A and B are shown apart, each in its own frame.
Chain A
Amino acid sequence: MTSNPTQTDVTVSETKDPATLDVSVGPQHPGSGHVRILMRVDGDYIVSIDPDIGYVHRGCEKIAENRNYVSNIPHLERPCIIDAIHLNWAYVLPVEELQGVQVPPRGRYISTIAAEMNRIMSHLYWLAINAGVFSGHTTIFMWAFGDRDLFIELAEMLTGARLTYSFLPPGGPRRDLPFGFEDKLTKLLDYFEKRLIEYDRIFFSNPLVVARAKGIGILTKEDAIKLGVAGPVLRGSGVKYDIRKVEPYGAYPDLEFTIPTFEEGDSYARFLVRFEEMKQSISILRQALKKIPQGPIARKAPLVAPEGEAIGRVESSRGECAVMVMGDNSDKPYRVRVMNGSFRNLVAMPYLIRNVHIADMPIIYGSLDYWPVEADR
């Protein structure tokens, strides 16, 4: 802790060459959320960057030590507001493990349906802002945001809220599938599957997008593993690793899906991973609607958790989200630690955004799908 820290304590680590210039990108919302990226540029080239995060830090983990297990849910899912189900689920899994509560099969299916809808919504948000706007493609911004709203309306029908659902307290989801939900979701998936073909034609196969993203920001397989990146960034570098497969939770053991991976490791490969994941989510949702069993949706969970620690993790839209909860026989956790995809992928940012044109920076930043609030917590 420096006694009187000023802005100068944020520096690019290498020694400064007089020909270079330091430029601050942000913290006024350079795209998705508040982050400052301190760039050192030499003409049109970025020499190095230093991500300065923490502008939206709100001390989630400290707050969690002062709230009971249930009232922790709303604020722990806020860090990634467009991916709330996954953050909620990652927190609830260890709490349920500590309390010894088993969610009934129907409850696990409903959670899975909500989570996969959330994955599509989150990827559509990424497609609109981080891929569309950052590459100057206004059409895909409008299309993806428009289609995302159809999913949001269905999520509202299921959970009662558009974005911040607080849908999964310990023990199982809050509500059963509402009347007519299956039909609406089936119709929406049929529509969305056709839309994905149009997305491919206007965006993913668009020569302008390919020219801007292909070969830019290459993260090799070895580096991806060494840097410990997670989620679509890892799979875009050719590593087949998905928490839904290696540590199945919810209804995923019963459902068939593949893990899309691409060997290239460039920004375009990371674009395509998310595109293919949306197709897989459609298939998962269809299977889940077909296979969902009858029965109770939730069990009653105690308000206290015994002494001990448990880690739960889910594959969120931005990669592995692991939460450790430490109980101490009271109704409040002793310690909660949230380890999520955005914070892990942050280490790849200074690694990828160097020796590139300034114009390539938004593409690389967008391809990481970095969500500043999730990283800051």
Chain B
Amino acid sequence: MSQSSLSREEGIVNKFKSRFTESVKETKIDRARRITVTCDKDHILEIAKFTRDEIAFDHIIGICGVDFPTHKKLEVLHFLGSVTNPDMHGIILILKTELPKENPSIASVVSVWESAHFHERETFEMFGINFEGHPDLRKLLTLDNWEGPPPMLKDLKFPEMSQR
């Protein structure tokens, strides 16, 4: 991939840099078509609205939680894509947010992207992350009688899980 072909990605990064100073901590072009934007969790809704309205990322491909027990933190990754803007086709924009391990909570982006509905429900169930403002935050995939901790956390080791 030649250097000039990254112009689309650089354009997006520059828009983020000029619009946000405090709430966007880091912007990084991972490779062609992949951009990671590290955000402050209190401003996620504002950044989400900007991402949808100004640079036309119109749908959520997925939401992913990651547990880092050694750093005592969780990460939430929003993977975004665009179908309306042909210039943004093929780019995955990742909004990365860090949350504390105790009572993790972040604003729900369902009001911005309706496609986030089931993804947020799954992340809530698997990581115990509370999505504030989600219209219908219930468990989705695990058994009705599952009473253990959120199953995707790293503290839950595999053999213990299979004995249940």
Interface residues of A (CB under 8 A from B): 1-3, 5-7, 9-10, 13, 53-54, 57, 59, 61-63, 65-66, 225-229, 234, 239, 241, 243, 246-247, 310-311, 313, 320, 322, 324, 326, 334-335, 337, 339, 343-344, 346-347, 376-377
Contact = CB atoms under 8 A, between A and B. Distances in A.
Given A13-B135, A226-B113, A334-B66, 4 more contacts: A53-B141, A59-B151, A62-B161, A344-B115
B34 interface: yes
Interface of B: 30, 33-34, 58-62, 64, 66, 77, 79, 81, 83-84, 89-90, 92, 94, 113-115, 117-119, 125, 128, 135-136, 138-147, 150-152, 158, 161
A64 to B, nearest CB: 11
A334 B119 CA distance: 20
A57 B152 CA distance: 13
Contacts, number: 108
B58 to A, nearest CB: 5
Nearest to B58: A225
A231 to B, nearest CB: 12
Given A7-B144, A339-B79, A320 B84 contact: no
Contact of B128 (A1, A313, A347): A1
Given A9-B138, A324-B64, A343-B118, A239 B152 contact: no
A57 B142 contact: yes
Given A226-B114, A227-B114, A228-B115, A246 B139 contact: no
Contacts of A3: 147
Contacts of A337: 62, 64, 77
The 6 A-B residue pairs with the shortest CB-CB distance, nearest first, are: A228-B115, A228-B59, A339-B62, A54-B141, A246-B90, A246-B89
11 contacts: A53-B140, A226-B58, A226-B115, A227-B115, A228-B58, A228-B115, A322-B79, A324-B64, A324-B79, A334-B66, A377-B141
B113 A228 contact: yes
Contacts of B59: 225-228
Contact of B150 (A1, A2, A326, A343): A1
Contacts of B119: 339, 343
A27 B52 CA distance: 37
A230 B83 CA distance: 10
Nearest to A54: B141
Contacts of A334: 66
A347 B114 contact: yes
A335 B60 contact: no
B61 A320 contact: yes
Contacts of B77: 324, 337
Given A6-B144, A54-B140, A324-B77, A347 B117 contact: yes
A376 B126 CA distance: 13
B144 A5 contact: yes
Nearest to A226: B114
A322 B61 contact: yes
A5 B58 contact: no
Contact of B118 (A7, A313, A346): A346
Contact of A62 (B64, B118, B158): B158
Nearest to A377: B141
Contacts of B114: 226-228, 347
Nearest to A51: B118
B144 A1 contact: no
A65 B66 CA distance: 12
Contact of B83 (A63, A234, A322, A343): A234
A85 B46 CA distance: 39
B156 to A, nearest CB: 8
Contacts of A225: 58-59, 83-84
B159 to A, nearest CB: 9
A224 to B, nearest CB: 9
Contacts of B144: 5-7, 9
B83 A241 contact: yes
B57 to A, nearest CB: 11
A227 to B, nearest CB: 6
A241 B62 CA distance: 17
B34 A311 contact: yes
A94 to B, nearest CB: 10
